[in-house]
Amino acid sequence: MSIESLRCKECGTACELDARYVCESCFGPLEVAYDHSSLDPAEAKRRIQAGSQGIWRYADFLPFEGRPGDPLEPGLTPLLRADRLAERLGIDAELWVKNDAANPTHSFKDRVVAVAVAKARELGFETVACASTGNLANALAAHAAAAGLGSYVFVPANLEEQKLLATGVYGTNLVGVRGNYDDVNRLCTQLAETRPWAFVNVNLRPYYAEGSKTLAYETVEQLGWELPDRVVCPIASGSLFTKVGHGFQEWLDLGLVDGEQPVFNGAQAQGCSPVATAFAAGWEICKPQRPETIAKSLAIGDPADGPYALEHARRTGGTIDAVSDEEIRDGIRLLAETTGIFTETAGGVTIGVLAKLAERGEIAAGERLVVYITGEGLKTLDATRDRFRMHEIDPDLDSFESEFRQAVTA
Ligand SMILES: *Cc1c(COP(=O)(O)O)cnc(C)c1O
Ligand SMILES: [Zn+2]
User: Ligand 1 pocket, 107 CB below 6 A?
Assistant: yes
Q: What is the pLDDT of residue 254?
A: 97
* Residue 201 phi, psi dihedral angles, 5° rounding: -105, 15
Give the residue, out of 107, 341, 373, with the most ligand 1 atoms within 8 A of its beta carbon, to mutate for a pocket test. 107
Tell me the pLDDT tens digit for each residue of 232-266: 999 999 999 999 999 999 999 999 999 999 999 99
Rounded CA gap, 352 and 344, in Å?
Answer: 12
pLDDT of 408 higher than 70 = no
The percent helix, strand, coil of the chain (3-state, each to 5) is: 45, 15, 40
Q: Give burial (CB, 10 Å; 0-12/13-18/19+) of 38.
A: exposed
Whole-number Å distance, alpha carbon 238 to ligand 1 midpoint, is: 8
Whole-number Å distance, alpha carbon 128 to ligand 1 midpoint, is: 19
What share of the chain has pLDDT > 70, as a percent?
Answer: 99
Pairing of the two strands 198-199 and 127-131: parallel
Tell me the pLDDT tens digit for each residue of 351-396: 999 999 999 999 999 999 999 999 999 999 999 988 888 999 999 9
User: Ligand 1 pocket, 375 CB below 6 A?
Assistant: yes
Q: How confident is the model at residue 336 (pLDDT cuts 50, 70, 90)?
A: very high
Whole-number Å distance, alpha carbon 38 to ligand 1 midpoint, is: 34
Strand partners, 3: 34
Q: How confident is the model at residue 410 (pLDDT cuts 50, 70, 90)?
A: very low
Q: What is the mean pLDDT of residues 325-351?
A: 98
Rounded CA gap, 248 and 250, in Å?
Answer: 6
Local structure of 216: helix, strand or coil: helix
Q: What is the mean pLDDT of residues 68-92?
A: 95
For the stretch 398-406, contacts whose Cβ atoms lie closer than 8 Å and that sit 24 or more positions apart, written own/partner, are none
Q: Which CATH number fits domain 109-211: 3.40.50.1100, 3.90.1150.10, 3.40.50.620, 3.40.50.300?
A: 3.40.50.1100
Lowest mean pLDDT among 73-82, 116-125, 400-409: 400-409
Tell me the pLDDT tens digit for each residue of 118-155: 999 999 999 999 999 999 999 999 999 999 999 999 99
At the top level of CATH, the class of 79-106+212-384 is alpha beta
Contact 116, 148 (CB under 8 A): no
pLDDT of 7 higher than 60 = yes
pLDDT of 12 higher than 60 = yes
Q: What is the pLDDT of residue 407?
A: 58
Nearest CA to ligand 1 atom 7: 237
Nearest CA to ligand 1 atom 12: 374
According to DSSP, residue 376 is labeled: B
List CB-based neighbours of ion ligand 2 within 5 Å. 8, 10-11, 13, 23, 25-26, 28
Q: What is the pLDDT of residue 261?
A: 98
Local structure of 318: helix, strand or coil: coil
Tell me the pLDDT tens digit for each residue of 150-195: 999 999 999 999 999 999 999 999 999 999 999 999 999 999 999 9
| Sequence ranges of the domains in the chain | 79-106+212-384, 109-211
The pTM of the full predicted model, rounded to 2 decimals, is 0.96
Q: What is the pLDDT of residue 409?
A: 52
Rounded CA gap, 18 and 388, in Å?
Answer: 51
User: Ligand 1 pocket, 343 CB below 6 A?
Assistant: no
Residue closest to 54 by CA, chosen among 235, 266, 215, 203: 215
Domain 79-106+212-384 shares a fold with domain 109-211: yes
Average pLDDT, the chain: 96
pLDDT of 406 higher than 80 = no
Give the residue, out of 344, 374, 379, with the most ligand 1 atoms within 8 A of its beta carbon, to mutate for a pocket test. 374
Distant-in-sequence, close-in-space partners of 348: CB < 8 Å, separation ≥ 6 = 295, 327, 328, 329, 330, 331, 332, 335, 383
Contact 368, 223 (CB under 8 A): yes
* Residue 321 phi, psi dihedral angles, 5° rounding: -115, 160
Q: What is the pLDDT of residue 80?
A: 98
Q: What is the pLDDT of residue 71?
A: 85
According to DSSP, residue 396 is labeled: S
User: Ligand 1 pocket, 273 CB below 6 A?
Assistant: no
Give the residue, out of 297, 308, 373, with the most ligand 1 atoms within 8 A of its beta carbon, to mutate for a pocket test. 297
Residue closest to 236 by CA, chosen among 379, 143, 107, 334: 107
Contact 384, 348 (CB under 8 A): no
Return the ligand 1 atom nearest residue 243 CA.
Answer: 9
